[in-house]
Amino acid sequence: MILRNQLTPLALEGDVDTPPNIRFVADEMKYVVKRIAALPGQLVPESVLQAVDGMNVVPDGMLVVLGDNSRSRDSRHWGFVPLDDVCGIVVRKLSETPVRSSESETTSS
């Protein structure tokens, strides 16, 4: 899912674990891609409970999102994310290697 970046300069203020380069990214990157871990009415994943003050059910209008990188900033740090911050849905991952069309292969020979 594509959502508005939850990292804001205010969220980072006083966060001693956040490197300076992440502070720069927070100012420049408007959107992030995360995986939905829980929808409204579903149980909050255990790894997120501390960030949401122990609430065990996702409230209406909110989501729990997780990143695939172990150092990712996500609901483990932000808590619940408003549904209104969702901007799009990722349909598929792009190929890691460029795909060549048969036309470009014949013209380059």
Q: What is the pLDDT along the chain (109 residues), one digit of tens a residue?
A: 788 887 654 444 455 555 554 544 445 567 888 999 999 999 999 999 999 998 999 999 999 999 988 788 899 988 999 999 998 888 877 777 766 666 545 555 4
* Residue 99 placed within a domain: no
* Residue 107 placed within a domain: no
* Residue 13 placed within a domain: yes
What do you get for the CA distance between the two ends of the chain, in Å?
Answer: 40
Count the domains in the chain: 1
* Residue 102 placed within a domain: no
* Residue 29 placed within a domain: yes
* Residue 86 placed within a domain: yes
Cα 85 from Cα 95, distance rounded (Å): 27
**H or E, element range at 77:** helix 75-78
Amino acid at 36: I
CATH number, domain with residue 86: 2.10.109.10
Using alpha carbons, list the distances in angstroms from residue 3 to 66, 72, 80, 97.
12, 14, 13, 26
* Residue 25 placed within a domain: yes
What integer pLDDT is reported at residue 26 of this predicted model?
A: 47
* Residue 100 placed within a domain: no
Backbone angles phi, psi at 88, to 5 degrees: -175, 175
pTM: 0.65
Cα 52 from Cα 101, distance rounded (Å): 49
* Domain carrying residue 61: 2-93
